[in-house]
Amino acid sequence: MRAAHRVLACVGSGPDAAKVVRSAHELARTLGVEWIAAHVERPVSFGRDDSQRISESLRLAEQLGAEVARLSGANPAQEILRYAHERDVARVLVGRSARPRWVRLFRPLFLERLLAGTPPVDVYVVSMRGEDAPVRFKRRFDWRGLAAATVATSLTTVFVLTAFGQTHVSDAVMLYVLSVVLVSLRYGQTAALAAALLGVGALDFIFVEPYFSLTVADPRDAVTLAVMFVVALVIASLTKRVRDQAEAARSREVRTAALYAMSRELAGTTGIDTMLRIAARHMHDAFACSVAVLLPEGAGLQSAVHSPRTFKIDDQDRRVAEWVWQNERAAGWGTEEFSSAQALFLLLRGSRGKVGILALKPPSKRPIDAGLLQLVRTFAAQFGSALERGQLAEAAHHAEVQIETERLRSSLLSAVSHDLRTPLGVITGATSTLLQDEQYLDPEARRELLESAHEEAVRLNRLVGNLLDMTRVASGALRPKKEWHPLDEIVGVALNRLEERLAGREVAVALPPDLPPLPIDAVLIEQVLINLLENALKYTPPGSPIAIAAATAGAGIQIDVCDRGPGVLERERTLIFDKFYRSKPDVSDGGAGLGLAICRGVVEAHGGRIWVEPRAGGGASFRFWLPMEGVPPLSGEAWPQTA
């Protein structure tokens, strides 16, 4: 299909607009080409019937498959020719105007202007076939405008008589023209015309000789009155044109700003629920409509927005939405399909296909014009793209969670297959030897076997405990029960529990005597200290010293566990706190790589942070910081539980 074969239908405010649209549709279908329905908005006022006829004609064209274009310009014929040239239109269809002859004397027909422009297109005139009788322009009489014109003229007359008298005709002319401009700004062209007529009459009756008579004795005064009337009309027309253009620009600006604001907020959002609330808010503000969004769920569509701007979807609305989902066409308010429905239903699309249904319910069943419908479609297109992006982000996150779950399962199976089987093998071997060869074993050998079985059982118990603790941390079930505790007591309990394993090690404890108590879960913080001490025992040479220190730091307390081992490489300082990460996998009794991960989970659950730094003189310093929340109790008072 060549673009130069397009057909353009000119949609005006006359009764032939629908006939032009249907004729263009028939011609385009016969030729097998694309077609466009265009309307040129001029800076003049249309009656309510005219505006409704234009909107209905453009909506009909859109339903028949046309591309709808709204243009603007003071000369509609030139605007149509320019647009036809830009879009490579070959045929233009226009209606035959039925305006009275006296109107044509002052304003040429649109068809005449179009042909005068020597268009490089074929122009087709659509006849009404006997229905082209002169149109009777029905205008609603504006009593307020007439009253305003009368009041403005009266006030101007009183002011001129009071300030200048009857002899200053030129001053009176300028003030009457000013009153026409003011009336035109507020009440439009009809009121301005009335103000001009009343001003000319008042000027002739009061300020032109003979006074108090409509007779004009001096021809120069007649010219003055005529010029005043023409100038007043021209100024009123220009003022009305500027006001209409300003109102149109302001309306476009408001809608464009609303579209931009919604697009900007949606661009910075990834959650679908947040996207739905943002779109509902902006569309409610832009169109003064209640908003509902239905997303596919299972075998049907489910309402996905719940806010004060949302209306309840009933069974009839759900049937309309399902029809739109199946047929991929708009339905409901302002369309031919399900026109009795309470809302307009539009299909939300993304680059990959259908993503949902948008429903807009107006507060009253008012007509919807083609321009508003086109803007609604633009909002829907932006929202559909953002919604698809959110769905893809959620799918990617779900896939990432699944990958992480599989990785965690694989690591857990690896830990079970190796770290659990080793102590179980030792325990099984020792106990089977004791059972089978009890009579051949001396007391010393029996003791060694029992000690080996006991050590491996303790190791197995510690490993299972770490796995359970890691499960609590990963699932978010870890909830510290904070109470006020002195740090020296917790350090003492941790050292007592590791007393046998710390034998032969120098442990230096440096805790300030004025260190305040901490709002912590004593059992969990004790486990953090035990894990850090066990980490030092595993990865430092036997007999090397260990140091424990604490000090206030900002709005909390910092605790250090330092060793004199090989230290931690810089690239491992963040990885070392990950699950199942081991700095040296070949180290005996290296565990499953969960101890430091549990430490990080516990500390972060308390609102703190944990990290590792190189120690001066060699080794590593594992440090964690815990916040001070609330005011510690005074000495002798009960230490209450904190939140």
Residue 635 inside a domain? The answer is no
Between 141 and 528, whose confidence is greater? 528
* Sign of the alpha-carbon dihedral angle for 437, 439, 441, 444: positive
Mean pLDDT of 322-333: 87
Does residue 583 sit within a domain?
yes
Neighbours of 625 (CB within 10 A): 18
Mean pLDDT, residues 486-493 taken together: 91
Contact 10, 19 (CB under 8 A): no
Question: In whole angstroms, how far apart are CA 2 and each of 32, 33, 93?
Answer: 10, 8, 19
∠ CA 572-598-610, nearest 5°, is 55
Q: What is the CATH number of the domain that holds 327?
A: 3.30.450.40
Q: What is the mean pLDDT of residues 141-162?
A: 82
Is the residue at 236 inside a domain? yes
**Helix pair 219-267, 169-187: axis angle to 10 deg:** 30
**Alpha-carbon dihedral 612, 613, 614, 616, rounded to 10 degrees:** -130
- Cross-strand bridge partners of residue 344: 332, 360
- pLDDT of residue 546 exceeding 90: yes
Question: How many residues in total does the chain contain?
Answer: 643
**How many percent of the chain have pLDDT more than 70?**
80
Cα separation, 485 vs 480, whole angstroms: 13
At residue 179's C-alpha, the angle toward residues 176 and 180, to 5°, is 90
Q: Where are any strands of DSSP class E within 500-608? A: 507-510, 518-520, 546-553, 556-563
Q: pLDDT tens for residues 377-433?
A: 888 888 888 888 888 888 887 788 777 667 666 665 665 555 566 677 777 877 877
Residue 198 domain-assigned?
A: yes
Look at the chain and report how many structural domains it folds into: 4
Same-domain check for residues 305 and 388: yes
Is the separation of the CB atoms in 176 and 227 below 8 Å?
A: no
Place of tokens 């003049």: 44
Q: Sheet of 556-563: strands edge to edge?
A: 507-510, 546-553, 556-563, 620-627, 609-614
Answer yes or no: is pLDDT of 335 > 80.
Answer: no
| Neighbouring C-beta atoms of residue 492, cutoff 10 Å | 14
- 390 and 488 housed in the same domain: no
DSSP state of 120: S
Q: Residue 104: give its domain's CATH number.
A: 3.40.50.620
Q: What share of the chain is helix, strand, coil (3-state, %, to 5)?
A: 55, 15, 30
Residue 56 has a CB neighbour count (10 Å cut-off) of: 19
Is residue 558 a contact partner of residue 623, using CB atoms and an 8 Å limit? yes
- Whether residue 603 lies inside any domain: the answer is yes
The residue out of 368, 397, 426 marking a domain boundary is 397
Answer yes or no: are the C-beta atoms of 235 and 180 closer than 8 Å.
yes
501 & 598 share domain:
yes
What does the DSSP 8-state code read for residue 413? H
**pLDDT at position 160:** 83
Asked if 62 and 24 count as a contact pair (C-beta separation under 8 A), the reply is: no
* 304 found inside a domain: yes
Query: Residue 56, SS3?
Result: helix
- Residue-wise pLDDT for 37-84, tens only, equals 988 876 544 444 566 778 778 878 887 888 888 887 777 888 888 888
**Using CA atoms, how far apart are residues 583 and 85, in angstroms rounded to an integer?**
72
**Same domain as 368, residue 274:** yes
Is 199 a residue whose pLDDT tops 50? Answer: yes
C-alpha 131, offset from chain centre: 51
Q: Which residue has the higher pLDDT, 532 or 404?
A: 532
Taking all residues of the chain, what is their mean pLDDT, rounded to a whole number?
Answer: 78
Helix (H, G, I), strand (E, B) or coil at 586: coil
Q: Which residues pair with 519 in a beta bridge?
A: 484
Q: Quick check: helix, strand or coil at residue 572?
A: helix
**More confident position, 481 or 609:** 609
Answer yes or no: do 602 and 562 share one domain: yes
Task: Please tell me whether residues 604 and 543 are part of one structural domain.
Answer: yes
Domain boundary residue, one of 333, 366, 397? 397
Q: Say whether pTM exceeds 0.95.
A: no
Closest to 601 in 3D by CA, of 496, 469, 483: 469
Q: Is residue 14 part of a domain?
A: yes
Q: Provide the residue range defining the domain that includes 21.
A: 3-126
Specify whether 196 is located in the same domain as 297: no
Q: pLDDT higher for 458 or 438?
A: 458
**The one-letter amino acid at 433:** T
Q: Are residues 45 and 109 in the same domain?
A: yes
Give the range with max mean pLDDT: 364-368, 533-537, 559-563. Answer: 559-563
Residues 623, 482 share a domain: yes
**Residue 372 has which token pair?**
């508003």
Q: Is the dihedral of CA 417, 423, 426, 429 positive or negative?
A: negative
Same domain, 169 and 226: yes
Is residue 275 located within the same domain as residue 387? Answer: yes
Distance CA 506, CA 446 (A): 32
Q: Which parts of 303-345 fold into alpha helices (H)?
A: 315-327
Q: Which of 179, 214, 245 is the last residue of a domain?
A: 245
Q: 119 and 10, same structural domain?
A: yes
Please check whether residue 299 lies inside any domain of the structure.
Answer: yes
Q: How deeply is 34 buried, as exposed, middle or buried, from its count of CB atoms within 10 A (0-12, 13-18, 19+)?
A: middle
Task: Work out the pLDDT band at 113, boundaries 50, 70, 90.
Answer: confident
